[in-house]
A and B are shown apart, each in its own frame.
Chain A
Amino acid sequence: MRLRLVPKETSFDFFKRWKLWLGISALMMIVSFGSFMYQGLNYGIDFRGGTTIRTQSTQALDVAAYRGAIDALGLGDVTITEVFDPTFGPDENVAMIRIQAQEGEQAVTADMIKQVQASLQAVAPDINFVSVESVGPKVSGELVQTAFLAVALAIGAVLVYIWLRFEWQFALGAVAALVHDVILTIGVFSEVQIKFDLAIIAALLTIVGYSLNDTVVVFDRVRENLRKYKKMSLAEVLNLSINETLSRTVMTSVTTLLALVSLYVLGGDVIRGFVFAMIWGVIVGTYSSIFVASAILLYLGVKRDWSKPDNTAGNQFANVDA
């Protein structure tokens, strides 16, 4: 008696319409990019400076009253959102208040926070300020730079590693899949307008890692099968390899998703955006290792004759099986 999500033997033809899948992926990337350009990301204070205050009160939340209290101070753009979460008790009314970055380098002046807190206390006497965070414009600018650099570096490092271990076609395929995943994730964040902060960058890099994990497992099998079945066409080898590893792909995705979904539901609202990014990344990453990475490999072709040494392709690291 075994739970089997994937039948023992599968022979799906993943590449019957590979051009269509590549086209869909390209379209999705364009849509994501368009959304990013048109709508933009909902950057958190990490990236654009400003102050967020998380408040908690036993009284029902009156956003309009809060707004009135803060607008009177003339601090510029202020957003107030009520936070809902299944883990909250009935008398936990939580709001997030975001105030735009003020003039000057300083993150915030002590006076401003005191004023805001005082005027909110006038509206809701038992209000509690559970967290107050401010980031100055100078730091936020640098954080954006570092974040982009980190993602670019990660992708670059991976490109080099795969190139050393496999061949350049594999490396390109894997990196195309990574770029695809990152762009689609950014697209979702811009479409749904979930707060995009430093933690999301961590999530993006984890997605890069996960998606790669998946791609590498498929590629590893492709490399093995290429040596084993010298007469088979590349499309058939790819298909066979993906079918052979399908059970593992599904198993790992399911265990990872099980863990992530429980974190999404029960982990509290503070990290929900972060977990959402990762769930999305696992789904997209699994898809992309088959329909992007492998499809691009099929498009680029691979050198097949492994018996003859060829100095231009592969290298001494390619056959290291630790």
Chain B
Amino acid sequence: MLHIDLWKRVLIWLVCAAGLLLALPNAFYTKVEQSNDALAAIEMGGATPELTETAGQWPGWMPSSLVNLGLDLRGGAHLLAEVQVADVYASRMQAMWPEIRDILRPERPTIGTIRLQPSKPDEIRVRLGQPDGMARALEVVRGLARPIQSLSGIGANDIEVRAEDDILIVTLSEAEMVASDDRTVRQALEIVRRRIDEVGTREPTIQRQGADRILIQVPGIGSASELKAIIGTTAQLTFNPVVGRGSNPDANPGIGNKVIPSLDEEGAYYTVEAAPVVTGEELVDAQPAFDQNGRPAVNFRFNTSGARKFGDYTLENIGSPFAIVLDDEVVSAPVIQSHIPGGSGIITGRFTVEESTHLAVLLRAGALPAGLTFLEERTIGPELGQDSIDAGKVATMVAFAAVLVFMALSYGLFGVFANIALILNVALIFGLLSMIGATLTLPGIAGIVLTVGMAVDANVLVFERIREELKTARGPSRAIELGYEKALSAILDANITTFITAVILFVMGSGPVRGFAITLGLGIMTSVFTAIFVTRVIIVMWFERRRPKTIEV
């Protein structure tokens, strides 16, 4: 009657053993964490005796995955940044002007003079001297269009060219904007990741969220402002020809030029050509250094194409000044003394050593393709996290003990069986959390405590049912069997509905809420498993050994 196949029993106990084994490292959290860090360090930079010793704190053959602690438990900074994707349109159009100019020049006999007109930053307006030539001009400029490689924009071109009276207008196409947005966010994500890696903090989370957002979580960092200083700077380096210098920020720069302030000199403004000669994208290296006067500076080197552009420009413009521009501020504007063919140079300015180091890091990691706006920022101090862990631990222990005692009092021996299952249940949750590398948050701890309370529900359903069946059924073994059989549909329905809400929480929620959804969802799965299988195996094994004539539940 009461019978469970041997292979099933073995399987059930194996699952429990695996869960316990996977959960075990969490009991020695600090030790295992240090050991894991040491192992990672050895892999990166070779072994030292100290590292090997630290790594040996935890045996290598044991599982060493840990439950990640969320920011609210460990402390750290959280930022939600929005990438200003529209920034890119402007620079794209700016870069396009020389190309358009060059292609239209040979057509001047048909189209007349060409003049760049003032416009919104994301378009180019060109006035033609002979509007009759518009058809030809459109044709030529359309020749610049490139097809887009994307799933949504098959057959679409990257620019749209149209005419309004005697003005030719070039804008990015809709499809190109979508593709460009996507590229921009990906690039920004990559740059943010590189910058954070350069600074070397552990286990940062850098994720794309939605169309144009990036979520950044860095445990162990002092504050969100610190983090913002690292990733918030655009670090867009350009080399622009200088047109003039003055002290009026509102001076009329002339078309195709712009007025930007000097970084060091208060009240000084430069008029520079908006289209740069070379940009920081073509840098291959940047290192902090000192100039010939011993002041902090940054050495840089261009790649081949950058070096050629830079070389050609310096050759043609000996004697005129050019500006080194960082994020729309002129760092310095030296006069070109000679042809610079090698493609390397030095940026001098009034830097401190710290600033030059910082700048070198930013230039090495690359410029952000667009600015970031921070929509959300959170700093959680490590003390608060530790307090929360401590409080959570105590609360979980007490909750656990209370439920264990209550179950034993209510159901006697069967209550003890349920308690064994409950302990296994919590171990399984931790094992699963470690295995999938989930993050434990403060609401997640609440989820575990709630699971402890609710996990017994399935067992309670079974035990109550057995009690009822004992009144009518023939003999205890039949009652146990019927109890499990009849309680099953209620257990499944009740848990599936709760599981549905956990899934919705996971999909819709973010951060700590998601952590809660994970523990709740896992808790439901493990509690159903322990209630249906584990307690049953325990009860059957006990029953087979004792063969009691009557049982009391």
- Give the interface of A toward B (CB within 8 A): 1-5, 54, 56, 87, 105-108, 110, 113-114, 128-136, 138-139, 146-147, 149-150, 153-154, 157-158, 161-162, 165, 198-199, 201-202, 205-206, 208-210, 212-214, 216-217, 220-221, 224, 244-245, 247-248, 251-252, 254-260, 262-263, 265-268, 270-271, 274-275, 278, 321-322
Asked whether, in the complex, the Cβ of A3 is within 8 Å of the Cβ of B406, the reply is yes
Most chain A C-beta atoms within 10 Å of own C-beta, residue among B467, B501, B552: B501
Q: How far is the CB of B498 from chain A (nearest CB, A)?
A: 4
Contact of A220 among B387, B493, B498 (CB under 8 A): B493
Confirm or deny: B497 has a beta carbon within 8 angstroms of a beta carbon on chain A. Answer: yes
Asked whether, in the complex, the Cβ of B505 is within 8 Å of the Cβ of A202, the reply is yes
Asked whether, in the complex, the Cβ of B375 is within 8 Å of the Cβ of A106, the reply is yes
Q: How far is the CB of B446 from chain A (nearest CB, A)?
A: 6
Digitize B194-232: 1 where CB-to-A-CB distance is under 8 Å, 0 elsewhere: 000000000000000000000000000001110010000
Residues of A within 8 A of B409 (CB): 2-3
Residues of A within 8 A of B431 (CB): none
Contacts A129-B381, A268-B388; is A263 near B376 (CB within 8 Å)?
Answer: no
Residues of A within 8 A of B292 (CB): none
Asked whether, in the complex, the Cβ of B464 is within 8 Å of the Cβ of A248, the reply is yes
Asked whether, in the complex, the Cβ of A210 is within 8 Å of the Cβ of B498, the reply is yes
Q: How far is the CB of A178 from chain B (nearest CB, A)?
A: 10
Q: How far is the CB of B527 from chain A (nearest CB, A)?
A: 11
Contacts A258-B403, A268-B392; is A213 near B497 (CB within 8 Å)?
Answer: yes
Q: How far is the CB of A215 from chain B (nearest CB, A)?
A: 9
Residues of A within 8 A of B511 (CB): 198
Residues of A within 8 A of B517 (CB): 202
Asked whether, in the complex, the Cβ of B410 is within 8 Å of the Cβ of A251, the reply is yes
Asked whether, in the complex, the Cβ of A258 is within 8 Å of the Cβ of B399, the reply is yes
Contact of A107 among B377, B395, B493 (CB under 8 A): B377
Residues of B within 8 A of A138 (CB): 82, 375
CA–CA, A213 and B491, complex, Å: 9
5 closest cross-chain pairs (CB), A and B: A259-B453, A256-B453, A268-B391, A209-B498, A259-B399
CA–CA, A87 and B442, complex, Å: 16
CA–CA, A1 and B411, complex, Å: 9
Q: How far is the CB of B166 from chain A (nearest CB, A)?
A: 39
Residues of B within 8 A of A265 (CB): 395
Asked whether, in the complex, the Cβ of B449 is within 8 Å of the Cβ of A260, the reply is yes
Confirm or deny: B144 has a beta carbon within 8 angstroms of a beta carbon on chain A. Answer: no
Residues of A within 8 A of B443 (CB): 199, 202, 271, 274
Residues of A within 8 A of B510 (CB): 198
Digitize B59-75: 1 where CB-to-A-CB distance is under 8 Å, 0 elsewhere: 00000000000001000
Q: How far is the CB of B513 from chain A (nearest CB, A)?
A: 5
Contact of A321 among B373, B384, B449, B488 (CB under 8 A): B488
Residues of B within 8 A of A108 (CB): 374, 377
One of B16-24, B310-318, B454-462 at the interface: B454-462
Residues of A within 8 A of B468 (CB): 244
Task: Give residues 483-519 of B contacting A (CB, 8 Å).
Answer: 486, 488-490, 492-498, 500-502, 504-505, 508-513, 516-517
CA–CA, A208 and B197, complex, Å: 42
CA–CA, A130 and B492, complex, Å: 44
Asked whether, in the complex, the Cβ of A130 is within 8 Å of the Cβ of B412, the reply is no
CA–CA, A291 and B149, complex, Å: 61
Residues of A within 8 A of B134 (CB): none
Asked whether, in the complex, the Cβ of A157 is within 8 Å of the Cβ of B504, the reply is yes
Asked whether, in the complex, the Cβ of B228 is within 8 Å of the Cβ of A110, the reply is yes
Which residue of chain A has its CB nearest to the CB of B402?
Answer: A258
Between-chain CB contacts (< 8 Å), 5 pairs: A107-B374, A198-B510, A202-B513, A254-B406, A267-B391
Contact of B452 among A1, A154, A201, A259 (CB under 8 A): A259
Residues of A within 8 A of B452 (CB): 259
Residues of A within 8 A of B442 (CB): 270-271
Residues of A within 8 A of B488 (CB): 321-322
Residues of A within 8 A of B40 (CB): none
Which residue of chain B has its CB nearest to the CB of A254?
Answer: B406
Asked whether, in the complex, the Cβ of B504 is within 8 Å of the Cβ of A105, the reply is no
Residues of B within 8 A of A268 (CB): 387-388, 391-392
Asked whether, in the complex, the Cβ of B513 is within 8 Å of the Cβ of A322, the reply is no
Asked whether, in the complex, the Cβ of A146 is within 8 Å of the Cβ of B464, the reply is no
Q: How far is the CB of A107 from chain B (nearest CB, A)?
A: 5
Asked whether, in the complex, the Cβ of B501 is within 8 Å of the Cβ of A220, the reply is no
CA–CA, A254 and B375, complex, Å: 43
Residues of A within 8 A of B92 (CB): none
Contacts A136-B375, A149-B508, A199-B513; is A161 near B497 (CB within 8 Å)?
Answer: yes
Known: A199-B516, A248-B460. 10 other contacts (CB 8 A): A138-B82, A150-B508, A157-B504, A198-B512, A201-B509, A212-B494, A216-B494, A259-B453, A267-B395, A268-B387
Asked whether, in the complex, the Cβ of B377 is within 8 Å of the Cβ of A134, the reply is yes
CA–CA, A87 and B384, complex, Å: 12
Residues of A within 8 A of B402 (CB): 258-259, 262
Confirm or deny: B258 has a beta carbon within 8 angstroms of a beta carbon on chain A. Answer: no
Asked whether, in the complex, the Cβ of A128 is within 8 Å of the Cβ of B377, the reply is no
Asked whether, in the complex, the Cβ of B376 is within 8 Å of the Cβ of A247, the reply is no
CA–CA, A150 and B511, complex, Å: 15
Digitize B363-376: 1 where CB-to-A-CB distance is under 8 Å, 0 elsewhere: 00000000001111
